[in-house]
Structure 1
Amino acid sequence: MKKIIENPNDEETEIKESDMPFRYYQFDYSDGFSGFQFHWHEEIEIHYVVSGSGSFFIDDTEYNVGKGDIIFIAPRIIHSGKSENNDLVDICYMVDNDYLMSKNNEYNTDKFFTELINTKVELPVIHMQNEGYEQLRTPLQLIDSCVERRGPFFQLEIKRNLFDFFIELYKNNYLSMSSQSSNHIETKSIIKQSISYIQQNASGKLTIDEIASHVGLSSSYFMKLFKECTKMTCVEYIKILRLNNAANMLKETDESILQIAHTCGFFNLSLFNREFKRYYSITPSLYRKKYKMSEIDFITF
C-alpha cells in the first residue's frame, strides 16, 4: 500500500495524517485491498462508488451499494465496508468536524454539524434515482477536480464544495434525524470501547475475558452484545482484523512472513498460513508477490 501525502504550501514540513482536517482516499478493492473492518471515528466519512458493487454495514444495518452510490457516515458511527466480487472502486472523503465549524459561531452554522455528531442519520446511502442526487454528486465531482488540479486556492475550493454538499443533504432531507434511546447509546458505547481496545491490542494474546473485563461485562453477555451489533462473533472480528493487518504488512514491508504473523497476533505459522489462505484464497507469499506494487493513495492537507 502506497500512501501519498501532499503539502503544496511547504514541501519540507512534516505532516501527520491525524493533524489534517480533510483527507481524500482512492480505494481499489481489486488490488488486494480487503475492505474496512468494523471501526468508528470522530470524522465525517463520505464515499462515492466509482465502479463495482459491495456492501456497507452502518449502525446495525447492511446496505448494498453499486456504481454511482453516495454513502454518508456520520461521526462516531460503527461501520464497515466490503466488495462483492473484489471489483469495488470508491473514493472516500474524510472530514474533521472542526474543519466545517466556525470558531465563534458567528453565522450559527455549528448547530447543523452538532446534530450530526449527536443523533442518528436515517438515510446513509443515496442512489442515482433518489431525489437531489445530481446536486449531491456535483460538489463531490468538483472536489475530485480540485484534488487532481491542486491549483493555488484548491483548499478553499474544497471547503466551499463540502459546504455545498451538506446544504444539498439538508435541502433534500437526507439528514433526517431520529433520537436514540439511552440503551442504544450505552450499547454502542460499549461496542466502540471494545473495538478500540481490540485494535490497540490485536498483536497480543487477546482473550474474550480480557475484552469483556475492559468494558465491565461478563464474557457471555459481551459476546451476545457484540454479535448483535456487528453480525459477527468477537473471535471472528479479531481474526479478520489480524489478517487484514497482516495483508497490509505483506504489501507495505519486507519483513518475513513469520515476523508478520507474530506481529499480527498469530503465534503459529501453520495456523496463520491456513487462515490467510482461507480468507484471501491465496497464500501469504503469493499475496505479497501479487500485490506488492498495488497502491491505495490519499491526499491530505
Structure 2
Amino acid sequence: MSFDFLRSASTSNSTFRVVCGEMVLDDRWNVHSEVAIALVRTGSMTLETTTNSYSLQQGDIYFISPNQKYRISENRNAVVDVVLLNLSNPASVTQEYIPQSIIRGLTTGNCTHFAKVTPDDAFYAEMLNDLRTVTKAENEKFDFFQLLVHGKMYEIFYILFANKYIEIFDVETQGKKYRALRRITEYINENFCENISLDTIAQTTGLSRYYVSHLFKELMNTTFVNYVNELRLTRAAMLLTTTDTPIIEIAGMSGFNNISNFNRAFKMYYDTTPSKYRKTERQTF
C-alpha cells in the first residue's frame, strides 16, 4: 500500500484495510491504489487531475478513485484528514460484503474519478459523522472497533453511490463510446485540411452532431473545433519551418479558409505570429 503521501495516524486494520491520517500536501503528482475519502479540516486548496481542477474549501469532503493521478496545485493553509480503503486485497472483508461489480468498477477505473460533498449537501452531516467515527475507532482501537468501522464505511459508500456522487460506468457502453471516437478521429486525422464540420462528421459516421460533440468533451476534455485546429496548426508549424511556401498558401494547405483566421488562431496557440515563428525556429537549427 502506498502511504508515502500520508502522515499515518493508524496502522492498517487487517480485515477492512482502512488507514486514517493527515495527507501531506505538496505539488507532486500522486497515484495510489486505494480509495481516498478526505475532509478539508482547515484552509482551502485546488486539487488538479489530468482532466480537471477542483476548488476545495474548509469542510468539504471529497472522494478520489484508485489509480487516479492528481496533485494539489494550490494550497492555502489546508489541512486534510483522509481515510484510505484498499479494495485489492482478496483476504479483505470488503471482498465479501461489497459487491464485486462495485469493486471491479472502482479498481479498473470504470467509475467517477472525483466527487465532492459540501456542507450544503443533504447527506453531508451524516457523512461527516461517519468519517469522524471511523477515524476515532481506528486511532483508539477499542474492543470490536472493526465492526464499527465496517458499518460506517458501508454507510459512507451507500451515501456516495445512492446519491450518484459516484457512479460505476457500463464497460460495454464505454467501449462503444471509445470505438465511436476512434472512427471520428481517424476521419478527422485524414481530412482535417479539408472543410470539415460537425455536420460532416455526423453524416460520415452516422452519429448525431450532439453525440460527436459530447464524445470530445467527455473522453478527450476538449472540443471538436479545438481538436481540428490543433491538427491544422501543427501542420502549419511544420510547413513554416520546413518549406519556403508563402504563409497565405500554408494557411490554405492547413485547412484555414482565410489568412485572418489562420493568423489569429496561430497567435493564440503559439503566442507568436506565423512569420516570427518561422524566423525563430529556423534560427534554432
Q: Which amino acid aligns with 1:25?
A: G
Contact 1:40 1:79 in 2 (8 A): yes
Q: Distance in 2 between matches of 1:38 and 1:8?
A: 24
Q: Please say if 1:23 is aligned against 2:19.
A: yes
Equivalent residue, structure 2, for 1:94: 84
* Secondary structure of the structure 2 residue equivalent to 1:137: helix
Deviation, structure 1 residue 120: 3.3
Contact 1:69 1:128 in 2 (8 A): yes
Rate the CA distance shift 1:20–1:177 in 2: closer, same or farther, 3 A: closer
Over 6 Å off, 4+ runs: none
Q: Distance in 2 between matches of 1:141 and 1:3?
A: 17
Q: Which amino acid aligns with 1:116?
A: L
Q: Which amino acid aligns with 2:85?
A: V
Equivalent residue, structure 2, for 1:169: 160
Pairing 1:282-297 to 2, within 5 Å after superposition: none
The root-mean-square deviation of aligned C-alpha atoms, in Å, is: 3.7
Deviation, structure 1 residue 64: 0.5
* Unaligned stretches of 5+ residues in structure 2: 180-219, 222-285
Q: Distance in 2 between matches of 1:173 and 1:62?
A: 20
Pairing 1:1-301 to 2, within 5 Å after superposition: 21-27=17-23, 34-35=25-26, 37-85=28-76, 87-98=77-88, 99=92, 101-103=94-96, 109-118=99-108, 119-121=110-112, 124-178=115-169, 179=174, 182=178
Q: Which amino acid aligns with 2:157?
A: F
Q: Distance in 1 between matches of 2:26 and 2:147?
A: 31
* Secondary structure of the structure 2 residue equivalent to 1:102: helix
Q: Distance in 1 between matches of 2:70 and 2:132?
A: 24
Deviation, structure 1 residue 159: 2.2
Kindly name which structure, 1 or 2, has the bigger radius of gyration based on alpha carbons: 2
Q: Which amino acid aligns with 1:145?
A: K
Q: Which amino acid aligns with 2:138?
A: V
Higher relative contact order (CA 8 A, sep 6+): 1
Contact 1:58 1:73 in 2 (8 A): no
Identity of aligned residues (%): 16
Q: Which amino acid aligns with 2:78?
A: L
Q: Distance in 1 between matches of 2:93 and 2:54?
A: 27
Equivalent residue, structure 2, for 1:275: none
